[in-house]
Amino acid sequence: MNEPPETISEMDHDKVLEQASNWLKDGHKVALATVIETWGSAPRPVGSQLAIRDDATFTGSVSGGCIEGDVVTRALDKLDGGAAEVVEYGVSDAKAWEVGLACGGRIRIMIEPVEGNA
Amino acid sequence: MKAEILSELVRARAEKRPVVLATRLSNGFEKLVYQTDTQAEKWLVEAVSEVLRADKGRVQADPDGEDWFLNPFNPPLRLVILGAVHIAQPLSKMAELANYDVTVIDPRTAFASEERFPGVTLVTEWPDEAMEKIDLDTRTAVVTLTHDPKLDDPGLHAALKSPCFYIGALGSRKTHGTRVERLTEAGFSEDEIARIHGPVGLAIGARSPAEIAISIMAQMTERLRT
């Protein structure tokens, strides 16, 4: 069975690392974001991941869609040799409220570029 | 993350080896630690074993006070369905969506056919032989759907002797009553037999095969997560 090449379906959400690895093999630059801690009613559990490609295509999720935009922007900034970074989002933080973690939870996310070639 | 670490992690997942990705948060340094790895530092070996068992990542300080994020990658959950009957079709599809590796066992090849179960692992041996070859571990669920004691019972025997996290058996209360009698005669205790969910599934008034599959998936999820 042939996989549709550019379709990113719900099914792929637990194949985030595999997708990241394939993008790397195709010559793309890739970053990963991972939920490392949560407090309160966080939308996605610890360990949830998002893979971001250099053209801003992404797969997976680290929230219910609330903060992905900000995470993707930060990830893209790291693709040319940036370092890993831990970012905290929550209602107590005015900036985070702007990007919209409206569920009242708080989460810490690690964002890191993948270095080297596959 | 280094590309080599990513490809090793992807390979470990393909080979279904349990592994933990450990990341030092101060500088992003990463390494992979396997369950079988005894070379790593003592605190890490212990922590790796715990997060794999809990199937849940956490941030933990090492003896020097450095914070690490430990992210476990366990092999997929597994569902063994005995009986390639109508309900098994939606159940196997739903279980795949929920990231289970699905195996359907039925010696009746008219039922266990590729046309009826595209992409599913089909085993057409007798259930006792088939079950013997499967490691029914704590990440495995077993559901019997045949209605036929000749086929269902060997599967239930194997499941009851294993630490699998869920056992479900299709059939009415009356059918389950006679099943309990047979299992008691076979030497299983009341507590052991109580592990079986029969009638199978949560009571949501399910009627169609797909609805019954939903009630089974819901009950499996409840047993796994609560």
**Tens digits of residue pLDDT in B195-214:** 999 999 999 999 999 999 99
Q: Does B15 touch chain A (CB under 8 A)?
A: no
Q: Does A79 touch chain B (CB under 8 A)?
A: no
How confident is the prediction for chain A on average, in pLDDT?
Answer: 81
Contact A113 B56 (CB under 8 A): no
CA angle, residues B103, B108, B113, in degrees to nearest 5: 60
Q: Which element (helix H / strand E) includes B196?
A: strand B196-197
Amino acid at A1: M
Q: Does B59 touch chain A (CB under 8 A)?
A: yes
Nearest to A114 among B6, B97, B119 (CB): B6
Residues of A in contact with B59 (CB under 8 A): 36-37, 108
Q: Does A112 touch chain B (CB under 8 A)?
A: yes
CATH classification number, B77-225, choose in 3.40.50.720, 3.40.50.970, 3.90.230.10, 3.40.1190.10: 3.40.50.720
Confidence check: pLDDT of A5 > 50: no
A94: its two tokens: 């005015």
* Confidence (pLDDT) at A101: 57
Cα B87 from Cα B106, distance rounded (Å): 13
Cα A91 from Cα A102, distance rounded (Å): 7
Q: Given the cut 0.95, state whether the ipTM is greater than it.
A: no
Contact A24 B3 (CB under 8 A): yes
pLDDT tens digits along B132-142: 999 898 889 99
Residues of A in contact with B2 (CB under 8 A): 114-116
The answer as to whether A118 is a domain residue is no
A105: its two tokens: 């939870």
Nearest to B57 among A10, A47, A114 (CB): A47
Mean pLDDT of A3-31: 75
* Confidence (pLDDT) at A2: 46
| C-beta separation of B164 from B79 below 8 A | no
Q: Does B27 touch chain A (CB under 8 A)?
A: yes
A112 to chain B: nearest residue by CA? B1
Q: At what angle do helices B3-14 and A16-25 cross, to 10 degrees?
A: 130
| C-beta separation of B168 from B195 below 8 A | no
Mean pLDDT of B169-196: 96
Q: Does B98 touch chain A (CB under 8 A)?
A: no
Closest by CA position to B165, among listed B78, B105, B96: B78
Pairing of strands A58-60, A49-53: antiparallel
Instruction: Tell whether the torsion through CA atoms of B72, A63, A90 and B222 is positive or negative.
Output: negative
Residues of A in contact with B72 (CB under 8 A): 47
* % pLDDT > 90, chain A: 50
Q: Mark B59-77 as b/e (b = at least 16 C-beta within 10 Å).
A: bbeeeeeeebbbbbbbeeb
* Confidence (pLDDT) at A31: 97
Contact B3 A117 (CB under 8 A): yes
| C-beta separation of B125 from B103 below 8 A | no
Report the range of poorest mean pLDDT among A69-78, A99-108, B115-124. A99-108
pLDDT tens digits along B158-167: 999 999 999 9
B203: its two tokens: 């009571």
Domain count, chain A: 1
| Of A64 and B34, more confident | B34
Is residue A89 very low, low, confident or very high in pLDDT (cuts 50, 70, 90)? confident
CA angle, residues A70, A75, A79, in degrees to nearest 5: 155
* Confidence (pLDDT) at B146: 93
Confidence check: pLDDT of B99 > 50: yes
The answer as to whether A21 is a domain residue is yes
Confidence check: pLDDT of A73 > 60: yes
Contact A21 B7 (CB under 8 A): yes
| Structural domain harbouring A34 | 14-113
The answer as to whether A4 is a domain residue is no
Domain boundaries, chain B: 3-73, 77-225
* Confidence (pLDDT) at B135: 87
Contact B58 A117 (CB under 8 A): no
Confidence check: pLDDT of B120 > 60: yes
How is residue B93 annotated by DSSP?
H
* Confidence (pLDDT) at A41: 73
Q: Where are the alpha helices (DSSP H) in B58-166?
A: 88-97, 127-132, 149-160
